[in-house]
Structure 1
Amino acid sequence: MKIYEFTMAPNPRRVRVFLAEKGINVPYQQIDLATAENRKPEFLKINPMGGVPVLELDDGTRIAESVAICRYFEETKPEPRLMGVDAKDKAVVEMWNRRMEFEILMMTAGAFRNTSDFFKGRIPQVKEYGEICRTAALKRLEWLDTVLADREFIAGPRYTIADITALIGIDFGRLTGIKVEDNQKNLARWHQAVSSRPSAKA
Structure 2
Amino acid sequence: MKLYDTQQAPNPRRARMFMAEKGIDLDSIEVVQLDLAAGDNLGDDYRRRNPMGTVPTLELDDGLCLGDSMAISRYFEELHPEPPLLGRDARDRAVVEMWNRRMELNLLFPVAMAFRNITGHFKDRERCSAEFGEISFERATAMFDFMDRHLAEHSHVAGEAFTVADITAVCAVDFARVIKLRIGDERPNLARWHAAVSERPSARA
TM-score above 0.5, yes or no: yes
- Which consecutive residues of structure 2, in runs of 5 or more, have no partner in the other structure? none
RMSD (Å) for aligned C-alpha atoms: 0.9
* TM-score calculated relative to the size of structure 2: 0.96
* TM-score calculated relative to the size of structure 1: 0.97
Task: Give, in whole Å, the separation in 2 of the partners of 1:9 and 1:185.
Answer: 26
1:157-168, aligned counterparts within 5 Å? 157-168=160-171
- Of all paired residues, the percent bearing the same amino acid is 51
Task: Give, in whole Å, the separation in 2 of the partners of 1:3 and 1:144.
Answer: 31
Deviation at 1:199? 0.7
Q: Deviations over 1:26-84 (max 9, x none)?
A: 33111211100111111111111111111111111111111011000000001111000
Deviation at 1:122? 2.6
Alignment match, 1:38: 41
Moved over 6 A (4+): none
Alignment match, 1:83: 86
Instruction: Report how many aligned residue pairs link the two structures.
Output: 202
Alignment match, 1:8: 8
SS in 2 for 1:119: coil
Alignment match, 1:68: 71
1:117-156, aligned counterparts within 5 Å? 117-156=120-159
SS in 2 for 1:13: helix
- Which consecutive residues of structure 1, in runs of 5 or more, have no partner in the other structure? none
Task: Give, in whole Å, the separation in 1 of the partners of 2:60 and 2:124.
Answer: 35
Q: Deviations over 1:130-176 (max 9, x none)?
A: 11000000011101101001111010111000000000001001100
